[in-house]
Amino acid sequence: MKLATWNVNSLKVRLPQILAWLRMHPVDILCLQETKITDDKFPFAELASAGYEAISAGQRTYNGVAILSRHPLSDIVRNNPLYPDEQQRIIAATISGIRVICAYVPNGQAPGTDKYAYKLEWLSAFHRWIEQECHDHPELAVLGDYNIAPDDRDVHDPAAWTGQALVSPAERSAFERLAELGLKDAWRLFDQPENTYSWWDYRQAAFRRNQGLRIDHILLSESLSARCTACIIDREPRKWERPSDHAPVIAELLL
DNA sequence: ATGGCGGGTTGGACCCGA
């Protein structure tokens, strides 16, 4: 069983790349963020032809999340039931007995801004809900773009990033509090190469210079992390023409 | 110091991302 997450930065633009990537990596479940597409325009038919059932919580212009699955999806939830939010950032479903949550955490812009306050409030409500989900679903996977680099190892230039959003102590603390619920960062279950990131700015040839951040994560409950055999970040699609600025992250589970 | 790229909304410049 393979689960993956990918911030595609526009499903409309990236659909051919998603289909190509799925042919190379026929994962069981793919969580998407920043689809930027309303549900009525969602490419259900193209994905079905590729073997994937899809569910979407979409909106125009910004945000939007979706789950693609080779297996049936049930108990679909859109948004955090504890936090009314007009921005479409969460979709969840049960797939093959695993509770799968796909999340697009707010960016936060910069400490001191309204967007940063929204991010922290959103994360606080997210924690309260995930705590319940952990209780209700021992087999829980929370995948997505967290917009948090948990550790200085996840930042190409920690000194340059000090004090900025994505690395601030309050954001990292929110991430650690999820870990305290028993959720483990699948990436850190294994020895990993240094300087591995999941996002690189489009500007300044950041990808070529590997100036990135690791902000896309797969968190696994205890029972799932015990069965996790690998976690990788696939840099290849970032090299393609007109790429997303994020790379997919994949976790493999014994099932 | 600033903005640098790219997508979306537009039909010209903006907003926004991270």
pLDDT digits (tens, 9 = 90+) for A71-128: 999 999 999 999 999 999 999 999 999 999 999 999 999 999 999 999 999 999 999 9
User: Rounded to whole angstroms, how far apart are CA atoms A38 and A129?
Assistant: 25
Assigned token pair, A210: 């590997």
Q: Which nucleotide is nearest to A36 (CA to C1')?
A: B8
Is A218 strand, coil or helix?
strand
Question: Per-residue confidence of chain A (255 residues) as pLDDT tens digits?
Answer: 999 999 999 999 999 999 999 999 999 999 999 999 999 999 999 999 999 999 999 999 999 999 999 999 999 999 999 999 999 999 999 999 999 999 999 999 999 999 999 999 999 999 999 999 999 999 999 999 999 999 999 999 999 999 999 999 999 999 999 999 999 999 999 999 999 999 999 999 999 999 999 999 999 999 999 999 999 999 999 999 999 999 999 999 998
Q: How long is the CA A13 to C1' B9 vector, in angstroms?
A: 15
Give the closest residue to A67 by CA, choosing from A16, A132, A3, A17. A3
Catalytic residues of A: 104, 145
Which 164-223 residues of chain A approach strand B with CB closer than 7 Å? 165-166, 199, 201-204, 213, 215
Assigned token pair, A182: 């028993």
User: Rounded to whole angstroms, how far apart are CA atoms A154 and A158?
Assistant: 9
User: Rounded to whole angstroms, how far apart are CA atoms A88 and A157?
Assistant: 31
Residue A255's pLDDT is: 82
Assigned token pair, A177: 């509090």
State the DSSP code for A19: H
Burial of A2 (0-12, 13-18, 19+ CB in 10 A): middle
CB A199 within 8 A of CB A212: yes
Amino acid at A107: N
Is A91 strand, coil or helix?
strand
Q: Which nucleotide is nearest to A164 (CA to C1')?
A: B18
